[in-house]
Amino acid sequence: MRSETAPAIRLEDYQQPAYRIDTVHLTIRLQPNETEVVCATSVASRDGTDAGAPLILDGDELTLVGIALNGKALDEGAYSVTPERLEIHTPPAEPFELVITTRINPDANTKLMGLYRSSGTYCTQCEAEGFRRITYFLDRPDVLAVYTTRIEASSKDCPILLANGNPVDAGRIENSDRHFSVWHDPHPKPAYLFALVAGDLARVADGYQTMSGKQVDLNIFVEHGNEAMCGWAMDSLKRSMKWDEETFGLEYDLEVFNIVAVSDFNMGAMENKGLNIFNDKYVLADPETATDQDYANIEAVIAHEYFHNWTGNRITCRDWFQLCLKEGLTVFRDQEFTSDMRSRPVKRITDVRLLKSHQFPEDAGPLAHPVRPRAYHEINNFYTATVYEKGAEVVRMLKTVLGAADFKKGLDLYFERHDGNATTIEAFLTCFEDATGTDLAQFALWYEQAGTPVVSVKTRHDPGNRTFTVDLAQEIPPVPGQKNSKPALIPLRFGLVAANGEDMETGAADGIEIANDTMLLEKARQKVVFSDVPSKPVLSLLRGFSAPVRLDQHQSEDELELLAASDRDPFNRWQAVQTLAMQELLRLTQLARSEKPLTPSQSVLDLFGTVLQDAELDPALKALALTLPSEADIAQEIGKDVDPDAIHQARQRLRAEFALTHRSALLKALTDHMPTGTYSPDAQTAGKRALSNRALHYFAVSDAEETAQRVWERFSNADNMTDRISCLTLLVHDGMPKRNEALKAYRLRHENSSLAMDKWFMVQATAPGSDTLKLVRSLKSDALFDETNPNRVRALLQSFATGNPTQFARVDGTGFEFIVESVLEIDKRNPQVASRLLTSFRSWRALESKRCALAESALLKISSCEELSRDSRDIIDRTLQ
Ligand code: PHE
Ligand code: ZN
């Protein structure tokens, strides 16, 4: 039987720490397997703490070497210690100096939390609870201290020594082959923002002058040989710094800003004060190895981490329940940045697709949780789409509800009032209430309630009284552990579209509060009556996706076609096309399920043709409109008794029929929009490339000899990764004759680029077709597969589990078994990567009964395993609940 699960940590149990730590002086003597950490802190009891209350410090796999208080070694009876905990039984009442020496083993650290080595470089990851793997500490975000860090290491192996803040000293260590450097960070910060890096790295240097005229040194550190791949990241950094000054008046606050790229990293990147550490896939780019999407991701992640300097670092979280305070707000900020750098509608559609494909299923399954959770077993499992993406949607709604000017007032007050604090969502919302006089009590429910509200809509026009009535209702479907959901405050941006495609002018609306173009739905049901509506309008609701809700609204094909053709809101134009495509895909899936012939409807084919040939439409938007909902999207829409094979058949059928119907227009689009000249990752050119490749994606489905030849040639002649990888995907996924030749050629070309090889693994892992599982198994033993590298694990295993619905959910259950085996292997060395892989089962109950039963027995196998990490235990328990 499995061991007892530890009790959950609860928001309601929050208590201030008993002690403060005001300053930290760290001396870290780096050795690959015996690093010594001396941590000297000044500690004081907090007001209200009983005299002599024990000081309890967190640890994790630590070895204590020594402990001294006010300069004297502590008697053994004065403290007790385990690898996880150090208690000083009765500390003095007056402030005191505590010096703790620990020994750690960076080379043995496979969890990639705390101090570890990646390709020889020492680096740290302390969020959320990694600092306790370096020294015993009050490892919680509401303990803010000023850090001074001295690093000592071999001069030869580690010419570069970095830590948070500004460099203050450096030199040789006498009579040794070692050197040191000292860094001081004047800004008090929680331990999760601590970082150090030491290694033999190349430096790409630049500079930035802030709006008040201060000069900041900017550096990006990478492995030797990668210097030429840092230009885009550096450019993105400078644009981020400028944008934050112009948009929010926020300036950088240290003399240096350092970025380090490492190849072994559990997450995307980390905002450590003055020393951001990145997964190298969000730093390194050149046209040879990075796609347009990679360039866009780098720009966004660089911005995200930089923006954390204010939203996260200067103002941090009181406890980990408040994670969305920094993450939701910072995602909102990076989304706005991208919108300003690129195309706002394209960015909005991209973000909503991500939200719907990642957050909606999370919110509809066993892992659902509020944007601000109330309980957790393992905080690492709460770096979720709900906290990040829905968290950003909530901030966006706040802006919509208050209006841009009042939103700005509230945010300005937040920066002014809470600079230097570790704070909460309540305090954040209070700033907006105080600055604008708005009561946000109902709005706050967005942070408290899990589940995606469903807004149902019924409309009718009465020509006699010239009224247009909209019946609105909202409801949150059942969520595990959440009873009696309350109505949320839902901002619904809308327009009433006339037959000519323009927005109608109408008389007043009764029954709801409307500000500008936004209705505020606040009750469970509301009847809205518009007066002076001369003719029957089409309701364009949820423009710009103004709230993270599902709409239950039955619009006719004609109505949707009108919106698709002429809604002035680009998001809803896209949405109308998607809705029509989805309806058709649901119908075809139904037919496939009952083994009837699949005949796509002419009207959808025509609509796609119209979109394809619309000369006005921005290519990037067109490419998005012509992208069919994914198989996972369709599964989600179906919601229960899901048969992935039927979905796959339906989608492939529609794709093929579209290709057949519009062959010449597709050919024209794919050639006309193919950019010429030297590669540029800018949004416009990338949009054209996206459209050209989207056209090719359809065109390629025909089995004509010349088609395969065309794809092969485009693959072989591609001068950039975007084209090369989209052709390789077609060759492999559509099983074209030269598929193996292409894979070989790609491998030969990119063998030395691990980022490019990740794509090679991913393309194969996501290929439909019943031989994929066998292939993926064999790739797991490929010389280039490395189980210790999280990017590689994600490329092969995670993308198989989440990006290959028919093969993961094979009807013989072997896809599930394979992932279960892999989770159990990986869990031993890296629980975070394993538990993330395990979340790929989150929608298992929606599968048809046979697959559902197979998924359950696979999950039970994990659950019955005795030696499971806390991370995986938490996910498995919730998934099976
Ligand atoms: N805080 C990081 C970010 O959002 C993400 C992260 C979390 C990285 C935990 C590492 C560990 O930018
Ligand atoms: Zn973040």
- Ligand 1 neighbours, Cβ below 6 Å, are 125, 127-128, 267, 269-271, 304-305, 327, 383
Model pLDDT, residue 506: 87
Ligand number with the minimum distance to the CA of 392: 2
Confidence of residue 204 (pLDDT cuts 50, 70, 90): very high
First-last CA distance in the chain = 17
Pocket mutation for ligand 1, best pick of 264, 270, 298, 335 (most atoms within 8 Å of C-beta): 270
Tell me the best of 113, 116, 266, 267 to mutate to test the pocket of ligand 1, counting ligand atoms within 8 Å of each CB and taking the most: 267
Predicted local distance difference test score (pLDDT) of residue 705:
82
Task: Give the CA-trace dihedral at 617, 623, 624, 628, to 10 degrees.
Answer: 130
Nearest protein Cα to ligand 1, atom 8: 270
Q: Which atom of ligand 1 is nearest to the CA of 304?
A: 12
* pLDDT of 499 strictly over 90: yes
Ligand 1 atom showing the smallest separation from residue 301 Cα: 12
**pLDDT of 158-177, one tens digit each?**
999 999 999 999 999 999 99
Which ligand has the nearest atom to the CA of 192? 1
pLDDT at 58 over 50: yes
Give residue 263's pLDDT.
98
Residue 314 Cα to ligand 2 midpoint, Å, equals 14
Among the bound ligands, name the one nearest to the CA of residue 267: 1
178-189/256-262 β-pairing: unpaired
Residue 5: pLDDT above 80?
no
Q: Whose CA is nearest to atom 1 of ligand 1?
A: 270
pLDDT band at 4 (very low <50, low <70, confident <90, very high): low
Quick: pLDDT tens for 428-449: 999 999 999 999 999 999 999 9
Ligand lying nearest the CA atom of residue 127 = 1
Selection from 789, 826, 817, 823 nearest residue 262 by Cα: 789
605-631 per-position pLDDT tens digit: 999 999 999 999 999 999 999 999 999
Angle among Cα 91, 93, 97 to the nearest 5 degrees reads 60
d(CA 25, CA 183): 10
What average pLDDT does the chain have? 97
Q: Angle 352-611-660 (CA atoms, 0-180°, nearest 5)?
A: 110
Could you identify the atom of ligand 1 that is nearest to the CA of residue 388?
A: 4
The residue nearest atom 3 of ligand 1, judged by CA position, is 270
What is the whole-number distance in angstroms between the Cα of residue 272 and the centre of ligand 2?
11
Q: What is the mean pLDDT of residues 412-416?
A: 98
Whether 147 shows a pLDDT value over 90: the answer reads yes
CA of 261 to the centre of ligand 2 (A): 16
What number does the ligand 1 atom closest to the CA of 327 have? 4
Per-residue pLDDT, 72:
98
| CA-closest residue to ligand 1 atom 11 | 127
Q: Closest Cα to residue 400, out of 529, 311, 513, 550?
A: 513
Which residue's entry shows tokens 């009952």? Answer: 594
Q: Which residue, judged by its Cα, is nearest atom 5 of ligand 1?
A: 270
List the catalytic residue out of 305, 362, 561, 631.
305
Q: Which atom number of ligand 1 is nearest to the Cα of residue 312?
A: 1
- The closest-lying atom of ligand 1 relative to the alpha carbon of residue 266 is 10
In angstroms, the Cα distances linking 39 to 66, 67, 131, 132, 810 are 10, 10, 12, 12, 53
CA distance 95 to 97: 7
pLDDT 10s digits, 482-496: 989 999 999 999 999
Percent of the chain, pLDDT > 90? 98
Question: Strand 121-125 to strand 196-199: parallel, antiparallel, or no bridges (unpaired)?
Answer: antiparallel
Residue 778's alpha-carbon distances to 735, 771, 783, 860, in angstroms, are 18, 11, 10, 26
How far, in Å, is the centroid of ligand 2 from the Cα of 222?
21
For the segment 275-298, what is each residue's pLDDT rounded down to a tens digit? Answer: 999 999 999 999 999 999 999 999
Distance 301 CA to ligand 1 centre (A): 11
- Supply the pLDDT for residue 83: 98
Q: Tell me the ligand closest to 123's alpha carbon.
A: 1
Q: Which atom of ligand 1 is nearest to the CA of 380?
A: 9
Q: Residue 412 and residue 806: Cα distance in Å, rounded? A: 49
Q: Burial of 825 by CB count in 10 Å (0-12 exposed, 13-18 middle, 19+ buried)?
A: middle
Q: Contact, 710 vs 731, CB < 8 A?
A: no
What's the gap in Å between 109 CA and the centre of ligand 1?
Answer: 19
User: How many angstroms is it from 664 CA to the middle of ligand 1?
Assistant: 47
111, 116, 127: residue to mutate for ligand 1 pocket, most atoms within 8 A of CB? 127
pLDDT at 1 (0 to 100): 39
- Which pLDDT value is given to residue 6? 81
Rounded average pLDDT over 576-593 = 98
Nearest CA to ligand 1 atom 9: 127
Q: Rounded to an integer, what distance in angstroms lies between the CA atom of residue 818 and that of residue 816?
A: 5
Q: What angle do CA 555, 559, 560 make, to 5 degrees?
A: 80
For range 330-338, the mean pLDDT: 99
Residue 848 appears among annotated catalytic residues: no
pLDDT at 2 over 50: no
| Distance in Å, CA 199 to ligand 1 centroid | 22
